[in-house]
Amino acid sequence: MAHRLNDRQDEAVKYVSGPLLVLAGAGSGKTSVITTKIAYLIQECGLKARNIVAVTFTNKAAREMKERVGKLVQGKASHGLTVSTFHNLGMNIIRKEYKALGFKPGFSIFDQQDARALLVELMHKQLSDGEDSVDVVQHMISNWKNDLVLPQQALDRARNEEEMLAARVYVNYNRTLKAFNAVDFDDLILLPVQMFREHQEILQKWQNKIHYMLVDEYQDTNSSQYLMVKQLVGDRAMFTVVGDDDQSIYAWRGARPENLGLLNQDFPGLKLVKLEQNYRSTSRILKAANVLIANNPHVFEKTLWSDMGMGDEIRVVRCRNEDSESERVATEILTHRLKHDTSWKDYAILYRGNFQSRLLEMKLQEHQIPYHINGGTSFFARAEVKDMMAYLRLLVNPDDDNAFLRIVNVPRREIGASTLEKLGTYAGQRHISLYQACHEMGLEEVMDARYVDKLRRFTKWMDDLARISDSEPMKGVRLLVTESDYENWLYQNCSSDIIAEKRMGNIEFLVGSIQQSLERGDEDTTLEDAITRLILRDMMDRQEEEEDHDKVQLLTLHASKGLEYPHVFMIGMEEELLPHRTSIEEDNIEEERRLTYVGITRARQRLVMTLAASRRQFGETLDTTPSRFLDELPQEDLVYEGWEQRSTPEQRHARGQEALDDILRGLDL
């Protein structure tokens, strides 16, 4: 690594005689401690890379960490090292232990949308007034899973009608997933934890494999993730976790900053190291972040300083409307880059909600500024890619009813809704999958032989493909694409040939990724593995392959965690955007403040905040109110631009008081 560790960091790296918690603010080198420590464990402590597991929050972070370790540990010594997300780790455990969990090989992973579709189906009777309740139930089930509450326990604990209903759906939902040989996203953590509880011998096997564990962004782990760590490290308790309670921004996904405190109880020998020097940002940026976050109550007291120089003032730019806000950001990047000879990738634009990126994209395109959207409309969300993924899922897991239903009649095979309904009833009564039901002799009794024939022609074709794929996976995949005649179907159904061509290109890209995955993986990588990996990658980071190229980065505040950029724009600094409207309604301002803290601390040299004086909303143009967080920043470090007159909070308060006095006088009290 280019820089030398400070004494505290060095202490954290070299402490290997027991559990360690590194608690420190943004940019103090927590992630650096983890990467350096992995190298230290391999080079100085004689640990094998394959016995080390590091967990981070996103795939992007995992990739970066792997890269950093690769630079420190050359050659073979780093082979077999696990650096992954919690979900990836969980998936690998399930993949190896699926038998103990009662799954068949090639299990499917349902993403958010698949899971929702299933819930809609299970709840159809209760959905007379729209599908809103599906989202509520989905959220409740997810929370239960994150808190390790099983369906039966949810039933027992239900305190009112709503919880009772959700718990009943939960029971059904889990049963159906099992029948589909599928797991959902939350199961990737829940199932291993549950299995480790029930099967000591399996847990021991994993404990023996993992000699040292490291966890980054620890403040955002939820209960089940925490338990997974606790189980895996066992009594040996050889681990390092690093975190910052001020950056806890996933409470809505069940994250518990209190887990930082829990560690102390569960591991009485826990050593605590605090880091206080920030190596990322100018003093001014750091001060702004510190002053802001001081408005939150604190579990742990921390101080954070930097000797990167005072730096420029933070600019707060007010634009007429959202159009001019985006335009302003685009032109600023353009001119700044010209003047300072920087790269595009030195700039990041951060926002609270994904929808805020649309206008930005248009403006950036207009000015021909290359950009990359982190988490934008995903490759995998496109219809043709979802179709092809469904084919592939069905190929490796014939029991995946969702996949079956999606493509059995795409392209058209004259298998209509009523045939499928009859098939569904038949399969439901016998507790078998739709695919299996197609093979059953009894099917002729419930539907016309003509239709049975059509179904069987389809499954016979899929069976043949599956057989071919067993020995020659890529041949199977390619045959699937050509024989399905999907290309023709695309050309018939797209409004123009150009669009059809583009969609076909996406399918080619997908097939290419599978091939790469098969070639890159270990020798025993199967088609199932390659597809499971694709599904997981889709869910965890909807990013394009080319993301590392020189492009302006557009990302949500949530996605920006752990990253850093020389020049940062935070847009939409308005009430109801940041803090978000629902957080205001639910009185959850502290989490929004932490989110703002995360945003500010991404910046190394220069921070610009923008807002629009008016904004279109539901067809109306409304005046906005500047974010309360602007008032909380140290005013002496800000420069306001585009404000007729920016008054201090005191002045505004005084004005409010005057107005109130006027009213009181008017009332003649």
Give the catalytic positions in this structure: 30-31, 216-217, 247, 602
Q: Is 62 annotated as a binding residue?
A: no
Choose between 275 and 490: whose C-beta lies nearer to ligand ATP: 275
280 binds, among Mg ion, ligand ATP, none (CB under 5 to 8 A by kind): ligand ATP
Q: Is 627 annotated as a binding residue?
A: no
Q: How many residues bind Mg ion (CB under 5 A)?
A: 3
Q: Rounded to the nearest whole angstrom, what is the least distance from the CB of residue 488 to ligand ATP in the complex?
A: 50
142 binds Mg ion, rule: CB under 5 A: no
Q: Is 243 annotated as a binding residue?
A: no
Give the footprint of ligand ATP on this chain (CB under 6 A): 3-6, 9, 24, 26-32, 244, 247, 279-280, 562, 564, 601
Binding mask 22-51 for Mg ion (x = CB under 5 A): --------xx--------------------
Q: Rounded to the nearest whole angstrom, what is the least distance from the CB of residue 330 to Mg ion in the complex?
A: 29
Question: What number of CA atoms fall less than 13 Å from residue 292's CA on the CB side?
Answer: 29
5 binds, among Mg ion, ligand ATP, none (CB under 5 to 8 A by kind): ligand ATP
Q: Rounded to the nearest whole angstrom, what is the least distance from the CB of residue 629 to Mg ion in the complex?
A: 22
- Residue 571 CB neighbours (<10 A): 28
Measured CA to CA, the distance from residue 658 to residue 638 in angstroms comes to 27
28 binds, among ligand ATP, Mg ion, none (CB under 5 to 8 A by kind): ligand ATP
Burial zone of 26 (CB within 10 Å; 0-12 exposed, 13-18 middle, 19+ buried): buried
Q: Rounded to the nearest whole angstrom, what is the least distance from the CB of residue 22 to Mg ion in the complex?
A: 10
Measured CA to CA, the distance from residue 373 to residue 363 in angstroms comes to 14
32 binds, among Mg ion, ligand ATP, none (CB under 5 to 8 A by kind): ligand ATP
- The DSSP H or E segment spanning 459 is helix 449-471
Cβ pair 316, 638 in contact under 8 A: yes
Choose between 145 and 604: whose C-beta lies nearer to Mg ion: 604
Choose between 35 and 224: whose C-beta lies nearer to Mg ion: 35
Omega before 579 within 30 of 0, i.e. cis: yes
Choose between 56 and 610: whose C-beta lies nearer to Mg ion: 56
Q: Is 27 annotated as a binding residue?
A: yes
Q: Is 100 annotated as a binding residue?
A: no
Q: Is 29 annotated as a binding residue?
A: yes
Q: Is 375 annotated as a binding residue?
A: no
Measured CA to CA, the distance from residue 193 to residue 214 in angstroms comes to 18
Q: Rounded to the nearest whole angstrom, what is the least distance from the CB of residue 130 to ligand ATP in the complex?
A: 41
Residue type, 481: V
CB neighbour list of residue 122: distance below 8 Å, 6 or more residues apart: 169, 172, 173, 176
Choose between 541 and 576: whose C-beta lies nearer to Mg ion: 541
Choose between 266 and 564: whose C-beta lies nearer to ligand ATP: 564
Residue 445, SS3 per DSSP: helix
Q: At what angle are helices 86-97 and 527-540 packed, to 10 degrees?
A: 160
Q: Rounded to the nearest whole angstrom, what is the least distance from the CB of residue 30 to Mg ion in the complex?
A: 5
Measured CA to CA, the distance from residue 53 to residue 214 in angstroms comes to 6
Q: Is 386 annotated as a binding residue?
A: no
Cβ pair 167, 243 in contact under 8 A: no
Give the residue at shortest CB distance from Mg ion: 31
- Residue 109 CB neighbours (<10 A): 23
Q: Rounded to the nearest whole angstrom, what is the least distance from the CB of residue 44 to ligand ATP in the complex?
A: 18
Cβ pair 275, 22 in contact under 8 A: yes
371 DSSP assignment: E
27 binds, among Mg ion, ligand ATP, none (CB under 5 to 8 A by kind): ligand ATP
Q: Is 601 annotated as a binding residue?
A: no
191 binds, among Mg ion, ligand ATP, none (CB under 5 to 8 A by kind): none
Cβ pair 257, 245 in contact under 8 A: yes
Burial zone of 4 (CB within 10 Å; 0-12 exposed, 13-18 middle, 19+ buried): exposed
Q: How far is CA 559 from CA 85, 550, 555, in A?
A: 14, 19, 6
Choose between 24 and 554: whose C-beta lies nearer to ligand ATP: 24
Binding mask 303-332 for Mg ion (x = CB under 5 A): ------------------------------
Cβ pair 557, 569 in contact under 8 A: no
Task: Figure out which of the listed residues 106, 254, 311, 562 binds Mg ion, where binding follows CB under 5 A.
Answer: 562
Which stretches of the chain bind Mg ion, using CB under 5 A? 30-31, 562
Q: Binding site membership: which residues?
A: 24-31, 280
Q: Binding site membership for ATP: which residues?
A: 24-31, 280
